[in-house]
Amino acid sequence: MPSNSVLPLAVIFDMDGVMVDSNPFHLQKWIDVLNAHGIPYNPDELPRQILGRPNDYAFRHFFGPDLPDEEIERLSGELEGMFRSSFAPHALPLPGLRELIMECHEAGVSMAVASSALRRNIELVVDALNLRPFFKFMVSGDDVTHAKPHPEIYLEAARRLEKSPGGCVGFEDSFVGIEAVKAAGMKCVAIASTFSAEELQSQTRADRIAKSFKELNLVELHHLFDGQA
């Protein structure tokens, strides 16, 4: 591990609920689909059941474990098409995100996106925010075998960046995402955009919880590594 004077080596961003406030649109698309098919759900539990998880997990949870792959692919295509058309006009960076990205860029800190979303969705959002030049890589759910909370997507991002996972910071908003970052051996900053800071504090192992990127800067990220040689 390098001296903490040069940490973090890299920062890795989830997308939905971290870079953009897209989760209300994801929730609505699922509500529309479940209602259309007459499938009951608990509105209070729905965010934990779908956010940060791949579509096949949620489809099998609600439609049954024997739902054929072909039907999942068809339903997922409809679902994500609904998301792109409804969200695209509303794509704005969460407050303080652009400033932190610029600070990291100017300091030479490598950056990547690691999102369970389809690559097409990630590219739509990143381009809408005009942030593509700042990310060396964008790792999507299409690029990995194991979904969050498995750490594969974060380990793959670190591998592509050629950085040690122990020197990286991952930004997440969901419970499964935070678990994935920690399982990868990275520091985790939880953004309280989807779940409350109190829930994240009591129910996750996040190293830092922030209500907004406005609370964060590179010095704050450096302090996550205090005590490390």
Question: What are the tens digits of pLDDT across the range 147-162?
Answer: 999 999 999 999 999 9
Sequence-separated (6 or more) residues with CB below 8 Å from residue 83? 22, 25, 26, 29, 121
122-143 average pLDDT score: 96
The token pair at 59 is: 């489809």
Contact between 159 and 151 under an 8 Å Cβ cutoff? The reply is: no
| Res 216 pLDDT > 70 | yes
Cα–Cα distance list, 206 to 35, 100, 111, 180, 214 (Å): 34, 19, 19, 11, 18
Residue 69: band (very low, low, confident or very high) from pLDDT cuts 50, 70, 90: very high
| Nearest of 50, 58, 1, 10 to residue 26 by alpha carbon | 50
Count the neighbouring beta carbons within 10 Å of the beta carbon of residue 28: 14
**pLDDT value at residue 80:** 87
**pLDDT value at residue 5:** 60
**pLDDT value at residue 81:** 87
| Res 1 pLDDT > 50 | no
Residue 6: band (very low, low, confident or very high) from pLDDT cuts 50, 70, 90: confident
Residue 173: band (very low, low, confident or very high) from pLDDT cuts 50, 70, 90: very high
| Nearest of 17, 45, 19 to residue 31 by alpha carbon | 45
Contact between 111 and 105 under an 8 Å Cβ cutoff? The reply is: yes
Q: Which amino acid is at 113?
A: V
Domains and CATH numbers, the chain: 4-22+92-223 (3.40.50.1000), 23-89 (1.10.150.240)
126-140 average pLDDT score: 97
137-150 average pLDDT score: 96
Q: Collapsing DSSP states into helix, strand and coil, what is residue 30?
A: helix
Per-residue pLDDT reduced to its tens digit, 75-118: 998 888 888 888 888 899 999 999 999 999 999 999 999 999 99
Q: Please, what is the average pLDDT of the chain? A: 94
**pLDDT value at residue 3:** 53
Percent of the chain residues past pLDDT 70, beyond the cut: 97
